[in-house]
Amino acid sequence: MSATVVSHKVVSQAEWLEVRKALLAEEKALTRQRDAVSQKRRELPWVKVEKEYVFDTPNGKKTLADLFDGRGQLVIYHFMFGPGWGEGCPRCSMGADHFDRSVVHLAQRDVTLMAVSRAPLAEIAAFKKRMGWNFTWVSSYDSEFNYDYRVSFTKEEMASGKFNYNYSMIGFPTEEATGTSVFYKEGNDVFHTYSSYARAAEGMLGTYHFLDLVPKGRDEEKFGRDAMAWVRHHDRYTNNQPSKEHIVQIAPQRS
């Protein structure tokens, strides 16, 4: 397949600096808006967790309160990995590739980060070993946790086609979905403070931050509605170069 040529304006350093400063003003405004939204997120009311959830962990059965590991804040990544799948979702895996180096820093800020899936612990352990990950990942297989936090769906829900996901009746194409839930522990009490789903999980994908900086951006339009169709498990990419049909050559056009 022949390469697609994209024309792009090329200017002097002085002209570039002028438009760059204009963009900087917009970037600063976006940063301030993000800070304001983050503040509203922290101000959300909490819900006390009354149900006793029990998880299978490498160190035996643990409750939700136990998962905090002595800290006051808990971030749970709902990793799409159902019983019998054999391997976890490639897109969740791209996010998880960023976890190990974050765990130690988060611990200094009273935060425990981990993943939870409905796959049995043995399946999780095998896949985790294959991926070379060290972060904590537990199983909610014998728990209603995933169903209550709307990242796993019953056969009846799947048959209906539309059910509650991401705070609306939109459904999801598989019985397991992705999301992030946050909890706070005070004494013996655990509170649910926040959950996000769908595209909100992009915050876990540091790769996208870098793609948003480069000239071709995410370059996902060619994949249509399934924008992340290019993502593979990190041990499934054939090499460190894009396949030929995805290469876009940028030909400069001088003004």
- Over the chain, what is the mean pLDDT? 88
pLDDT tens, position by position, 89-136: 999 999 999 999 999 999 999 999 999 999 999 999 999 999 999 999
Which of 145-154, 197-206, 244-253 has the weakest average pLDDT? 244-253
pLDDT of residue 252: 42
**β 111-117/73-78 pair status:** parallel
Q: If pLDDT is split at 50, 70 and 90, which confidence band does 242 have? A: low
Give Rg (Cα) of the chain.
21
Which helix H or strand E contains 156, and what residues bound it? Answer: helix 155-160
Rounded-to-integer distance, Cα 78 and Cα 154, Å: 16
Confidence of residue 219 (pLDDT cuts 50, 70, 90): confident
> Angle CA(98)–CA(100)–CA(101) in degrees, nearest 5?
80
**Angle at Cα 101 formed by Cα 235 and Cα 152, nearest 5°?**
65
Q: Which token pair is 67?
A: 């998962």
pLDDT over 70 (residue 6) = no
- Given a cut of 80, is residue 208 above it in pLDDT? no
Rounded Cα distance between 68 and 190, Å, is: 10
Phi, psi for residue 53 in degrees, rounded to 5: -95, 135
- Assess whether pLDDT exceeds 70 at residue 151: yes
Q: How far apart, in whole angstroms, are the C-alpha atoms of residue 14 and residue 222?
A: 35
Tens of pLDDT, residues 65-95: 999 999 999 999 999 999 999 999 999 999 9
Residues 155-181 have a mean pLDDT of 91
Q: What is the CATH number of domain 47-204?
A: 3.40.30.10
Dig out the tokens for 88 from the structure.
């976890």
Average pLDDT over residues 203-222: 80
> Taking the domains of the chain in order of start, what are their residue ranges?
4-40+214-254, 47-204
Is the pLDDT assigned to residue 253 strictly greater than 80?
no
- What would the mean pLDDT of 43-51 be, rounded to a whole number? 97
User: Would you say 48 and 191 are in contact if contact means Cβ atoms under 8 Å apart?
Assistant: yes
